[in-house]
């Protein structure tokens, strides 16, 4: 499973696909993919973490930093 995690992370790191207003980074040591989306002065971060027993375990998705977004608006989204 660590081989699968490494392959998934490295595929994100070597990807040349570009997104409008979004940057995607991968951290292989933490088995994480971090996507940061920005529009004007608003920055939203999404963290996807692969478990140590991937693909058997569930992937964890968390919201990271929220700059320029009110808590109530974030909850509504």
**pLDDT tens digits along 52-72:** 887 788 988 887 766 666 777
Strands, E assignment, 1-77: 22-27, 32-39, 42-49, 60-67
Q: Give residue 55's domain range.
A: 2-67
Question: 26 lies in a domain?
Answer: yes
Q: What pLDDT sits at residue 39?
A: 80
Q: What pLDDT sits at residue 15?
A: 79
Question: 72 lies in a domain?
Answer: no
Q: Which two tokens stand for residue 53?
A: 């027993």
Question: 7 lies in a domain?
Answer: yes
Count Cα atoms within 13 angstroms, Cβ side, for 11.
6
Question: 46 lies in a domain?
Answer: yes
Residue 66, strand partner residues: 44
**pLDDT tens digits along 2-49:** 777 778 788 887 877 778 888 888 888 888 888 888 888 778 888 888
Question: 31 lies in a domain?
Answer: yes
Question: 50 lies in a domain?
Answer: yes
Q: What pLDDT sits at residue 66?
A: 64
Question: 74 lies in a domain?
Answer: no
Question: 37 lies in a domain?
Answer: yes
Number of independent structural domains in the chain:
1
Q: What pLDDT sits at residue 67?
A: 64
pTM greater than the 0.85 cutoff: no
């Amino acid at each position: 499973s660590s081989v699968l995690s490494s392959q998934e992370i490295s595929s994100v790191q070597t990807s040349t696909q570009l997104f409008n207003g979004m940057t995607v980074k991968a951290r292989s040591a933490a088995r994480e993919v971090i996507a940061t989306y920005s529009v004007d002065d608003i920055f939203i971060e999404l963290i996807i973490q692969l478990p140590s027993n991937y693909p058997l375990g569930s992937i964890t998705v968390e919201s990271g930093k929220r700059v320029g977004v009110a808590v109530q608006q974030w909850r509504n989204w």
